[in-house]
A = this chain, B = another copy of it.
Amino acid sequence: MRYPDAIQNALDELGRLPGIGPKGAQRITYWLLAREDQDVARLTDSITQLKETISFCQTCWDFAPSGEVCRICADLRRDSSMLCVVEEPRDVMAIERTGEFSGRYHVLHGAISPMDGIGPDQLRIRELLTRLTDDDISEVILATNPTVEGETTAVFLAKSIKPLGIKVTRLASGLPVGGDLEFADELTLGKALEARREL
């Protein structure tokens, strides 16, 4: 038996969302069918509003309400001499949650990946270099992911930024806190050894 078209469409569309397979889509669809109309309207409205009102901060390229700078760029108490470069908007929130960084951000929207046809021109690197020339920045922290693409991007950025006389640093690689030495992969353990600190 086939589902009615309206149910099949919802299953297809929900099944496209990340982390939701056919089973999850079915669960959500039946759940939505059993909800009150206004509850479901609140969900669809929130998604529509998200797309209509959120755009990019023209300074750091994080998501921000259209036509505004983001809250971090607008916050004058934040240290404007420190700039943390990340791949994605979600990485900004991850670093904010540590409470360890009070500077500003720059979001690249990806990492250099020749296999996927993504070079420096597809990322917000030109905007980053303009910022570094215009603003008074003393340190750039490269917080791209510890992956091949992230490392490639970090190396590329370091080469481009150092000639400007700005200090360039990279997030430390090592054992995750609370992790177990036995279960660490060789690369991580190797990096942790290499970057060992005197106590």
A residues adjacent to B (C-beta < 8 A): 1-7, 9-10, 12-14, 16-20, 24, 26-33, 37, 40-44, 46-51, 53-54, 63-65, 70-72, 88-90, 93, 96
Contacts and interface: CB of A to CB of B under 8 A. Distances in A.
Contacts of A17: 28, 31, 43
A47 B43 contact: yes
Nearest to A48: B44
A17 B20 CA distance: 11
Contacts of A29: 50
Contacts of A30: 88-90
B6 A33 contact: no
B44 A6 contact: no
Q: Looking at A48, A49, A53, A93, which has the most chain B CB atoms within 10 Å of its CB? A: A48
A151 to B, nearest CB: 23
Given A4-B64, A12-B46, A44-B44, A27 B32 contact: no
Given A6-B46, A40-B48, A40-B51, 7 more contacts: A4-B71, A6-B54, A6-B65, A9-B50, A10-B47, A20-B20, A30-B90
Contacts of A70: 4
25 contacts: A1-B71, A1-B93, A4-B53, A4-B70, A6-B46, A6-B49, A6-B54, A7-B50, A7-B54, A9-B46, A10-B47, A13-B46, A13-B47, A17-B28, A17-B43, A18-B27, A18-B28, A26-B90, A30-B88, A40-B48, A40-B51, A41-B48, A41-B51, A43-B47, A44-B47
Contacts of A49: 6, 9-10
